[in-house]
Amino acid sequence: MKFFSVALFTLMAFVGMAFGYPMLAMQAFDDIHCKGSKSYAISVNDCQKFRDVSSIKSFAERGVCTAYVYTSDDCSGSPILTQNIQNGCNDLDVSFSGSWEFRC
Protein backbone atom coordinates (compact mmCIF):
# COMPACT_ATOMS: atom_id res chain seq x y z
CA MET A 1 0.00 0.00 0.00
CA LYS A 2 2.86 2.36 0.79
CA PHE A 3 4.36 1.74 -2.67
CA PHE A 4 1.02 2.64 -4.27
CA SER A 5 0.85 5.90 -2.29
CA VAL A 6 4.40 6.88 -3.28
CA ALA A 7 3.76 5.99 -6.93
CA LEU A 8 0.53 7.99 -6.98
CA PHE A 9 2.21 10.99 -5.34
CA THR A 10 5.09 10.84 -7.86
CA LEU A 11 2.67 10.63 -10.78
CA MET A 12 0.70 13.61 -9.47
CA ALA A 13 3.93 15.59 -9.05
CA PHE A 14 4.92 14.95 -12.67
CA VAL A 15 1.46 15.93 -13.92
CA GLY A 16 1.62 19.10 -11.83
CA MET A 17 5.02 20.03 -13.26
CA ALA A 18 3.85 19.34 -16.82
CA PHE A 19 0.93 21.75 -16.47
CA GLY A 20 2.44 24.23 -14.02
CA TYR A 21 5.86 24.84 -15.54
CA PRO A 22 4.65 26.36 -18.83
CA MET A 23 2.57 28.84 -16.85
CA LEU A 24 5.63 30.01 -14.94
CA ALA A 25 8.01 30.17 -17.90
CA MET A 26 8.22 33.00 -20.41
CA GLN A 27 5.88 32.29 -23.29
CA ALA A 28 5.25 33.61 -26.75
CA PHE A 29 2.51 32.30 -28.94
CA ASP A 30 0.05 33.02 -31.74
CA ASP A 31 -2.79 35.21 -30.56
CA ILE A 32 -5.83 35.90 -32.70
CA HIS A 33 -6.03 39.45 -31.35
CA CYS A 34 -2.57 40.24 -32.73
CA LYS A 35 -3.29 39.08 -36.29
CA GLY A 36 -4.25 41.49 -39.03
CA SER A 37 -5.13 41.13 -42.70
CA LYS A 38 -1.56 41.85 -43.83
CA SER A 39 0.25 40.44 -40.81
CA TYR A 40 1.51 37.13 -39.55
CA ALA A 41 1.82 36.08 -35.92
CA ILE A 42 5.00 34.64 -34.47
CA SER A 43 5.18 31.22 -32.83
CA VAL A 44 7.82 30.47 -30.23
CA ASN A 45 11.01 28.76 -31.44
CA ASP A 46 9.58 27.90 -34.84
CA CYS A 47 11.21 29.16 -38.02
CA GLN A 48 8.41 30.43 -40.27
CA LYS A 49 8.45 31.83 -43.80
CA PHE A 50 6.57 34.94 -44.79
CA ARG A 51 5.88 36.61 -48.13
CA ASP A 52 5.49 40.34 -48.70
CA VAL A 53 3.81 41.28 -45.44
CA SER A 54 3.72 44.76 -43.98
CA SER A 55 4.25 43.64 -40.40
CA ILE A 56 4.77 40.65 -38.15
CA LYS A 57 2.61 40.65 -35.04
CA SER A 58 3.77 38.95 -31.87
CA PHE A 59 2.32 38.31 -28.46
CA ALA A 60 4.39 37.70 -25.32
CA GLU A 61 2.59 36.66 -22.18
CA ARG A 62 5.33 37.18 -19.59
CA GLY A 63 8.92 38.35 -19.55
CA VAL A 64 10.92 39.50 -22.54
CA CYS A 65 11.49 37.41 -25.65
CA THR A 66 13.43 38.27 -28.82
CA ALA A 67 12.25 38.20 -32.42
CA TYR A 68 14.82 37.47 -35.15
CA VAL A 69 13.92 38.32 -38.77
CA TYR A 70 15.94 36.95 -41.72
CA THR A 71 15.90 37.52 -45.47
CA SER A 72 16.43 33.76 -46.02
CA ASP A 73 13.53 31.28 -45.99
CA ASP A 74 15.05 29.03 -43.31
CA CYS A 75 16.26 31.41 -40.59
CA SER A 76 19.85 31.03 -41.75
CA GLY A 77 22.48 33.74 -41.93
CA SER A 78 22.55 36.86 -39.83
CA PRO A 79 19.22 38.37 -38.80
CA ILE A 80 18.51 41.74 -40.38
CA LEU A 81 16.21 42.66 -37.50
CA THR A 82 16.47 41.71 -33.84
CA GLN A 83 13.87 43.12 -31.51
CA ASN A 84 12.90 42.43 -27.90
CA ILE A 85 9.25 41.65 -27.38
CA GLN A 86 7.61 42.87 -24.18
CA ASN A 87 4.36 41.72 -22.58
CA GLY A 88 1.31 42.04 -24.82
CA CYS A 89 1.03 42.64 -28.55
CA ASN A 90 4.03 43.89 -30.48
CA ASP A 91 4.49 44.92 -34.09
CA LEU A 92 7.59 44.40 -36.26
CA ASP A 93 7.51 46.40 -39.49
CA VAL A 94 8.86 44.45 -42.46
CA SER A 95 8.60 45.09 -46.19
CA PHE A 96 10.36 42.06 -47.68
CA SER A 97 10.05 38.28 -47.87
CA GLY A 98 11.96 36.01 -45.55
CA SER A 99 11.58 34.12 -42.28
CA TRP A 100 11.44 34.76 -38.54
CA GLU A 101 11.85 32.98 -35.26
CA PHE A 102 11.00 33.88 -31.72
CA ARG A 103 13.27 32.97 -28.78
CA CYS A 104 12.59 33.25 -25.08
Cα–Cα distance between 69 and 80 in angstroms, integer?
A: 6
**56 found inside a domain:** yes
**Confidence (pLDDT) at 22:** 45
**67 found inside a domain:** yes
**Confidence (pLDDT) at 38:** 58
Say how many domains are in the chain: 1
Cβ(69)–Cβ(81) below 8 Å: yes
**45 found inside a domain:** yes
Going residue by residue through the chain (104 aa), what tens digit of pLDDT does each one get? 555 565 555 556 554 544 444 443 444 444 455 665 556 656 666 788 888 777 777 777 767 788 899 999 999 999 999 988 877 778 888 888 899 888 87
**88 found inside a domain:** yes
**4 found inside a domain:** no
* Structural domain that includes position 39: 27-103
**Confidence (pLDDT) at 71:** 92
> Which SS3 state, helix, strand or coil, does residue 10 take?
helix
Cβ(67)–Cβ(41) below 8 Å: no
**13 found inside a domain:** no
**20 found inside a domain:** no
**Confidence (pLDDT) at 72:** 93
**14 found inside a domain:** no
How many residues can be counted in the chain? 104
